[in-house]
Amino acid sequence: MKRTLLIVAVIFIIKLQAQNQLSIPPVLNGSQYQLNLQNSTYEFFTGHQTATMGVNGNILGPTLIMNQGDQVDIQVTNNLGQQTTIHWHGMHISAANDGGPHTIIPPGTTWNPQFTVMNRAGTYWYHPHLDEYTDEHVSKGIAGMIIIHDNNELNAGLPVTYGVDDFPLVVQTKDFDGNYQIVNHSNNDDVLMVNATINPYLEVPAQVVRLRLLNGSSQRVFNFGLSGNMPFHLIATDGGLLEAPEQLTRLPLSPGERAEILVNLNGMENQTLYLMSYASEFGNGIYGATNPGMNANMTLNNYNPNALNGNDFNVLELRVVSQTANPVTSIPAQLSTIVPMDENMADAQRNFTLRPVTMGFNQLNGDFTINGVSFDMNTINLTVPLNNTEVWTVTNNSAIAHPFHVHDIQFQILSINGSTNIPAYAQGWHDTFLVPAGGGSIKFITKFEDFADDSIPYMYHCHMLNHEDGGMMGSFTVVDMSNKIEELKNNEAVLYPNPVNGIYMNFILKNTAEKIKSYLIIDASGKIVYQNHFHKNEQNYLMSFPVYTLSSGTYFLKVYTDDKIYTRKFIKN
Ligand code: C2O
Ligand code: CU
Ligand code: CU
């Protein structure tokens, strides 16, 4: 009797799955975009209204389709009744347009970023980035896809018709309370949705289709694959097309990451298959595995039981229907050109260490730091000279894998856990990549070009939004030193702008081998009004530091390096 009931229940659950047609976000394109951030409600569960936040609608936001070279003008109006920011994740734009935590949109106001689309064809996205509130605003529903096309991609023989053979898939898990309301900062995210549709199905034509995968979850890592281990072709990572398609059966994707795959459905009309996550194959130490920590003693509050953890599950049912006119029926052989960056050309090597605030068995429930410090809105952690090519090594001394994300740039992975044998999914350009737990590391190379700003920083951070909100984030400015080179020929150090009326100043030493350890600001009466020091991994021959809290007057900056002290006078207007 019990067994019969169980079988009936299982059949019922299987029938319940895949009963809602996948919603496809509407499109905005052209050069002018109007985005209204609003509070709303959405019926995730039949007969129950959930409080949400959306962009121009109830939930999520429109897909912005842009072309490389477009000059775009975006009006972001904040009707949320509280402050937020909107960040263009993966896009190479100036710090002022980037929409990080410092570019707050007060309630009832409109922010107007304007920029030229420079990125390669690919899948990018936008989401809020307010310090300590990113998870709340994203979990409640604000996120949208950005699709960029370029001429090379449009001529590569790929499916490019949105919603017909080219599909946006925003994959997320969320936690709902007993009143069907979204719980943020939760480890009990047991409801899976694609484009905010629970139990979704999608009709796909019997030809080559393109799926754009965005892991928009707050914490969960997916291990994508197709049912029956059917192969697919990876064609793009975060920063756009690979050189050539890579045939795979699995594709791990951590929060913040995107990937595009081609699925060849030729001759499969009337068949049904599933996009799945094979999470049973995750080892310990990944959010999504049975044990999110490196061993079973390291537990995460409210994480288990959850049917998604350590189990294989369906993400999207694909119902194959008849072909469209002019179908793409073969996988192209070539996609784009990627010039590998040479590690020997690097101007700087930097190290980042990821660590729990408190080590030990309970570490997964606490906050995490980068280079031993938590995010501080008033500190610039790093200063990068414009046009620097840099190699960054990120080492994870915690028991859980963290997706490390950097604004402004796309990077190439040089090694994972010290091995230069890079799996196919790690090739190409990335802006977010999972750093393995328990002493694991990734090393990547990138170049900081085109955009310098002495005062507004970019961010690097963990893209698990709980971790980011908990301070697992740092900031960096990119500064243009070319106009300071002449001054540095005649001086040991340069301090600029002086006098200052902005929010940050920059200090550069002529001797690039020297490291700034600490500094203090003294007012005209000799009183110390500000002091700070750099973590060992963040010491360099240049720095940006805040001066906006200082009242008008004359000050002295004292900078300490290994064996020298530099004193410079400056005026705050
Ligand atoms: Cu997707 Cu700094 O964020
Ligand atoms: Cu970003
Ligand atoms: Cu993290």
Percent of the chain with pLDDT strictly greater than 90: 90
Asked if residue 102 has its Cβ within 6 Å of ligand 1, the reply is no
378 and 475, same domain (yes or no): yes
The answer to whether 395 touches 441, Cβ cutoff 8 Å, is: yes
Statement to judge: residues 433 and 492 lie in one domain: no
531 and 550 housed in the same domain: yes
For the purposes of burial, counting CB atoms within 10 Å of the CB of 298, is it exposed (0-12), middle (13-18) or buried (19 or more)? Answer: buried
pLDDT in tens, 223-236: 999 999 999 999 99
Over range 393-399, report the average pLDDT: 98
Task: With respect to residue 524, please indicate whether it lies within any of the assigned structural domains.
Answer: yes
Domain end among 457, 479, 501: 479
Token pair belonging to 82: 């509280």
How far apart CA 498 and CA 504 sit, in angstroms, is: 11
Distances (CA, A) of 559 to 81, 423, 476, 541, 572: 43, 45, 19, 11, 18
407 CB near ligand 1 (under 6 Å): yes
Q: Which atom of ligand 1 is nearest to the CA of 89?
A: 1
Q: How confident is the model at residue 546 (pLDDT cuts 50, 70, 90)?
A: confident
pLDDT at 6: 46
Longest dimension (CA), the chain: 91
The residue range of the domain holding 423 is 343-479
Reported residue count of the chain is: 573
- Going from the Cα of 70 to the center of ligand 3, the distance in angstroms, rounded, reads 34
Percent of the chain with pLDDT over 70: 97
Q: Is residue 491 part of a domain?
A: yes
Is residue 61 within 8 A of residue 144, CB to CB? The reply is yes
Residue 200 has pLDDT above 90, yes or no: yes
Residue 294 has pLDDT above 60, yes or no: yes
Does residue 220 form part of some domain?
no
Q: Is 492 helix (H, G, I), strand (E, B) or coil?
A: coil
pLDDT for residue 506: 92
Integer angstrom CA distances of residue 406 from 354, 446, 488: 14, 10, 30
pLDDT tier at 524, thresholds 50, 70, 90: very high
Using the predicted structure, report yes or no on whether residue 327 has a pLDDT greater than 80: yes
- The CA distances from residue 113 to 137, 181, 422, 460, in Å, are 20, 33, 37, 21
CA angle at residue 466 from 464 to 471, to 5 degrees? 95
The pLDDT value recorded for residue 538 is: 87
Among 200, 182, 261, CA closest to 23: 200
Phi, psi of 499 (to 5 degrees): -65, 160
What's the pLDDT at 367?
97
The whole-number average pLDDT for the span 396-409 is 98
d(CA 173, CA 434): 18
Query: How many folded domains does the chain comprise?
Result: 2
Task: Centre a 10 Å sphere on the Cβ of residue 372 and count the other Cβ atoms it contains.
Answer: 12
pLDDT in tens, 154-163: 999 999 999 9
pLDDT band at 58 (very low <50, low <70, confident <90, very high): very high
Residue type, 504: Y
As a whole number of angstroms, the distance between CA 533 and CA 195 comes to 45
* DSSP line for 247-308: EES-EEE-TT-EEEEEEE-TT-TT-EEEEEEEGGG--SSSBTBS-SSSSTTS--TT-SS-TT
Here the tokens at position 464 are 């698990």
568 and 504 both lie in a single domain: yes
The answer to whether residue 242 sits within a structural domain is: no
Tell me whether residue 503 is in a domain: yes
- Ligand 1: atom nearest CA of 461 is 2
For residues 467 and 489, state if they share a domain: no
Q: Is residue 470 situated within a structural domain?
A: yes
Query: pTM here?
Result: 0.93
Residue 468 Cα: closest atom of ligand 1: 2
Question: What does the pLDDT read at residue 18?
Answer: 54
Which pair of structure tokens corresponds to residue 83? Answer: 């402050």
CB distance 267 to 216 below 8 Å: no
Residue 129 Cα to ligand 1 middle (Å): 7
Residue 89 Cβ < 6 Å to ligand 1: yes
Between the alpha carbon of residue 152 and those of residues 148, 243, 327, the distances in Å are 12, 12, 19
**Are both 432 and 549 inside the same structural domain?**
no
- For residues 258 and 89, what is the distance between their CA atoms, to the nearest angstrom? 10
- CA separation for the pair 290, 312 (Å, rounded): 11
Scanning 408-477, the segments in alpha helix (DSSP H) are: 465-469
Ligand 1 centroid – CA 155 distance (Å):
30
